[in-house]
Amino acid sequence: PPAASLEKPPLSDVASADLSLKAIAEAAASEAERRAIHRVLQVTKGNKSKAARLLGTNYKTLYLKIKQYGIDAGRFRDLRAS
Protein backbone atom coordinates (compact mmCIF):
# COMPACT_ATOMS: atom_id res chain seq x y z
CA PRO A 1 0.00 0.00 0.00
CA PRO A 2 1.14 3.58 -0.57
CA ALA A 3 1.06 4.35 3.16
CA ALA A 4 3.90 1.91 3.72
CA SER A 5 6.29 4.17 1.83
CA LEU A 6 5.67 6.91 4.43
CA GLU A 7 6.34 4.59 7.32
CA LYS A 8 9.76 4.27 8.90
CA PRO A 9 11.19 0.73 8.96
CA PRO A 10 10.82 -1.24 12.21
CA LEU A 11 13.83 -1.07 14.51
CA SER A 12 14.77 -4.66 13.64
CA ASP A 13 15.12 -3.69 9.95
CA VAL A 14 17.30 -0.66 10.65
CA ALA A 15 20.39 -2.71 11.50
CA SER A 16 20.58 -4.07 7.98
CA ALA A 17 19.83 -0.73 6.32
CA ASP A 18 21.24 2.21 8.28
CA LEU A 19 23.13 2.20 11.55
CA SER A 20 23.07 5.95 12.09
CA LEU A 21 21.74 7.15 15.41
CA LYS A 22 19.19 9.27 13.58
CA ALA A 23 17.79 6.29 11.66
CA ILE A 24 17.64 4.13 14.76
CA ALA A 25 15.94 6.89 16.77
CA GLU A 26 13.38 7.54 14.01
CA ALA A 27 12.55 3.85 13.75
CA ALA A 28 12.18 3.54 17.53
CA ALA A 29 9.96 6.64 17.69
CA SER A 30 7.75 5.36 14.87
CA GLU A 31 7.37 1.99 16.53
CA ALA A 32 6.53 3.59 19.89
CA GLU A 33 3.97 5.84 18.20
CA ARG A 34 2.38 2.90 16.38
CA ARG A 35 2.13 0.90 19.61
CA ALA A 36 0.66 3.85 21.52
CA ILE A 37 -2.02 4.38 18.88
CA HIS A 38 -2.81 0.66 18.86
CA ARG A 39 -3.11 0.52 22.65
CA VAL A 40 -5.31 3.63 22.89
CA LEU A 41 -7.60 2.31 20.16
CA GLN A 42 -7.96 -0.87 22.22
CA VAL A 43 -8.83 1.15 25.33
CA THR A 44 -11.34 3.32 23.46
CA LYS A 45 -12.74 0.35 21.53
CA GLY A 46 -11.92 2.01 18.24
CA ASN A 47 -13.34 5.45 19.08
CA LYS A 48 -10.91 7.71 17.21
CA SER A 49 -12.21 10.94 18.77
CA LYS A 50 -11.60 9.62 22.29
CA ALA A 51 -8.27 8.15 21.21
CA ALA A 52 -7.12 11.49 19.82
CA ARG A 53 -8.02 13.23 23.09
CA LEU A 54 -6.16 10.63 25.15
CA LEU A 55 -3.11 10.94 22.91
CA GLY A 56 -3.21 14.73 23.09
CA THR A 57 -3.57 15.22 19.36
CA ASN A 58 -6.32 16.19 16.99
CA TYR A 59 -8.57 13.81 15.09
CA LYS A 60 -7.07 14.55 11.69
CA THR A 61 -3.52 13.85 12.86
CA LEU A 62 -4.62 10.58 14.44
CA TYR A 63 -6.53 9.62 11.29
CA LEU A 64 -3.43 10.23 9.16
CA LYS A 65 -1.22 8.24 11.57
CA ILE A 66 -3.69 5.34 11.56
CA LYS A 67 -3.56 5.37 7.77
CA GLN A 68 0.25 5.72 7.75
CA TYR A 69 0.71 2.69 10.01
CA GLY A 70 -1.98 0.64 8.29
CA ILE A 71 -3.99 0.18 11.49
CA ASP A 72 -7.57 -1.04 11.06
CA ALA A 73 -9.53 0.91 13.70
CA GLY A 74 -12.67 -1.03 12.76
CA ARG A 75 -11.28 -4.19 14.27
CA PHE A 76 -11.25 -2.52 17.70
CA ARG A 77 -14.93 -1.57 17.29
CA ASP A 78 -15.67 -5.23 16.57
CA LEU A 79 -14.29 -6.09 20.03
CA ARG A 80 -17.09 -3.99 21.54
CA ALA A 81 -19.73 -6.40 20.32
CA SER A 82 -18.02 -9.39 21.94
Nearest to 43 by CA among 76, 82, 10: 76
Rounded CA-CA distance 41/11 in Å is 22
Nearest to 59 by CA among 43, 72, 48: 48
pLDDT per residue as tens, the chain (82 positions): 444 445 566 655 545 568 899 999 999 999 999 999 999 999 999 999 999 999 999 999 999 999 999 999 999 987 655 5
* Predicted model pTM: 0.73
pLDDT of residue 78: 76
**Cβ-contact 58, 28 below 8 angstroms:** no
